[in-house]
Amino acid sequence: MKKREFDYIVQFVTDSLVSFLMEDYQLPMLEAFDKVYQSETLRKLQDKSTGLYLRSAAYTYEYLKKELQLN
């Protein structure tokens, strides 16, 4: 996979995570971005060796919610 493709996937999932947080928890956009960008989930998503980027945005969101204990 080319770097550009990987970056696109990571950005798409990241944007989806922010949208999910905003919708499910009525968070303002900046707060949702802050939670995602400070998360271990994003670090794992950006690390190609974890394979998290191969999972769906919904799967990754469940992972993020567990990390943030938002269930």
List pLDDT tens digits, range 11-23.
999 999 999 999 9
Summarize pLDDT for 25-63 with one digit per residue, the tens: 999 999 999 999 999 999 999 999 999 999 999 999 999
Is 1 part of any domain? no
Q: What is the pTM of this model?
A: 0.93
Written as six digits, the tokens of 57 are: 């945005």
* Residue 7 predicted with pLDDT over 60: yes
In a domain, 15, yes or no: no
pLDDT-derived band at 1 (thresholds 50, 70, 90) equals: confident
Q: Does residue 71 fall inside a structural domain?
A: yes
**HEC readout, the chain:** CCHHHHHHHHHHHHHHHHHHHHHHHCCCHHHHHHHHHCCHHHHHHHCHHHCHHHCCHHHHHHHHHHHHCCC
pLDDT of 71 above 70: no
Number of domains within the chain: 1
Which whole-number Å values give the CA distances from 6 to 2, 50, 51, 57, 71, in the listed order?
6, 13, 11, 14, 29
- Domain extent, residue 60, equals 27-71
